[in-house]
Amino acid sequence: MSLLDYFKTSKTSTASLAKERLQILVAHERTSRHQPSYLPELQDELLNVVRKYANVDQDAIFVNFEQDEHQETLELNIVLPEDNHGKKPKR
Amino acid sequence: MARIIVVTSGKGGVGKTTTSAAIAMGLAKKGHKTAVIDFDVGLRNLDLIMGCERRVVYDFINVVNGEATLHQALIKDKNCSQLYILPASQTRDKDALSKEGVEKVLEELSKTFKYIVCDSPAGIEKGAHLAMYFADDAFVVTNPEVSSVRDSDRMLGLMSSKSRRAEQNQEPIKEYLLLSRYSPDRVKLGEMLSVEDVQEILSLPLLGVIPESKSVLNASNAGIPIILDEKSDAGQAYADIVARYLGEDKPHRFIEDKKGFFGKLFGGK
């Protein structure tokens, strides 16, 4: 086994897999930590409003909050059902 | 004024109580008057690890409720006259603790003790919250394993937002990483997260690495804090940790696999 092979195998070790998974997860959880606390409630109320007009599922609505140095973005994503008065699903 | 240290992790079974017992003993042996408090109401175990389970008369909740004085409830350690243990209640539930009650006890202890070590229960509920709420320093005990690292990060988030220091806009809690149950040989094989990996993910200063060690179970079997087993690698690791915490310059040990071929052949501690 060459030296190069040694490095190749160590790349796919379970430890590096663990590190990669953790880095993604921890980064995600840290951003959601700084989300405003009203977000779940907002999602619920928005869902109720949408449901007055269209029959959508709980998971058809997605609210995301992002923050960088300059701005805060509230992203709202609603997937409407296909048979909604002939309208196409809208993002 | 005492310095309040919380030993925390989020996840259970990573070595919080072992660590609390060891560092409290280490600080006391260095001549600092130290109290160690078990915050795990309903599931107390610090008394067992410290070997004083048969001397528990009154507990933390009795003191909070005014049913006993602090003096009555504190158990003087049999190995070190500078060390006192405040056991948790075994019969009450975790709601028996209140912020005000805990604050009162910590304030009273602060008058005569140099260090107060708070042994946090696992989880993020009331007991764990109260254990870290008043802390000045946090020893975050983490195993090199995905769920433990994730839970430690969650705990760090809570300490930065839900502690007294955070709420009162004071200087934040000083957080330190204690990486326990570490196996350098498995790290070398790529089977275990390395110290650098865990530090990179949690971005915490490293206070010490405690190697996976058979002597830890032997010590808990006997009810003797592992730090008193000066021959064991884990005992030495905790002694280093206490020294580093007190400002001594100790190079890190137990990170590299030092055992050679013969060492592996004949095994070790």
CB atoms under 10 Å from CB of B141, counted, come to: 28
CA separation for the pair B23, B241 (Å, rounded): 8
- CB of B157 within 8 Å of any CB in chain A? yes
* CA pair distance B170, B122, nearest whole angstrom: 26
User: Is A22 in contact with B187 (Cβ distance < 8 A)?
Assistant: no
**Helix, strand, coil percentages, rounded to 5, for chain B:** 45, 15, 40
Q: Which residue has the tokens 């779940």?
A: A40
pTM: 0.83
Task: Inform me whether the C-beta atom of residue A31 falls under 8 Å from chain B C-beta atoms.
Answer: no
Q: Which residues of B touch A21 (CB under 8 A)?
A: 146
Which ipTM did the prediction report? Answer: 0.84
Placement of tokens 């969650």 in the chain:
B154
Given an 8 Å threshold on Cβ–Cβ distance, is B193 in contact with A18? Answer: yes
pLDDT value at residue A77:
83
Contact B153 A19 (CB under 8 A): no
Q: Cβ distance B84 to B34 under 8 Å?
A: yes
The three-class DSSP label of residue B177 is: strand
In three-state secondary structure terms, B80 is coil
Q: Is A34 on the interface with B (CB under 8 A)?
A: no
B154 touches chain A (CB under 8 A): yes
**Inter-chain contact A10–B192, Cβ cutoff 8 Å?**
no
What residues form DSSP beta bridges with B85?
A: B36, B75
Give, in order, the Cα–Cα distances in Å from B142 to each of B11, B24, B33, B87, B206: 8, 18, 27, 24, 11
Per-residue pLDDT of chain B (269 residues; tens, 9 = 90+): 899 999 999 999 999 999 999 999 999 999 999 999 999 999 999 999 999 999 999 999 999 999 999 999 999 999 999 999 999 998 887 788 999 999 999 999 999 999 999 999 999 999 999 999 999 999 999 999 999 999 999 999 999 999 999 999 999 999 999 999 999 999 999 999 999 999 999 999 999 999 999 999 999 999 999 999 999 999 999 999 999 999 999 999 999 877 655 555 555 44
Helices (H) and strands (E) counted in chain B, each on its own, are 13, 8
Cβ–Cβ < 8 Å for B8, B140 = yes
Contact (Cβ atoms closer than 8 angstroms) between residue B160 and residue B138: no
pLDDT digits (tens, 9 = 90+) for B239-262: 999 999 999 999 999 998 776 555
State the DSSP code for B120. Answer: P
Q: Where are the beta strands (DSSP E) in chain B?
A: 3-8, 34-38, 75-76, 83-86, 115-119, 137-142, 174-182, 206-211
* pLDDT tens figures, B35-75: 999 999 999 999 999 999 999 999 999 999 999 999 999 99
Please give the backbone phi and psi of residue B159, each rounded to the nearest 5 degrees, phi first.
-65, -30
CB contact under 8 A, A29 and B150: yes
Rg (CA), chain B: 18
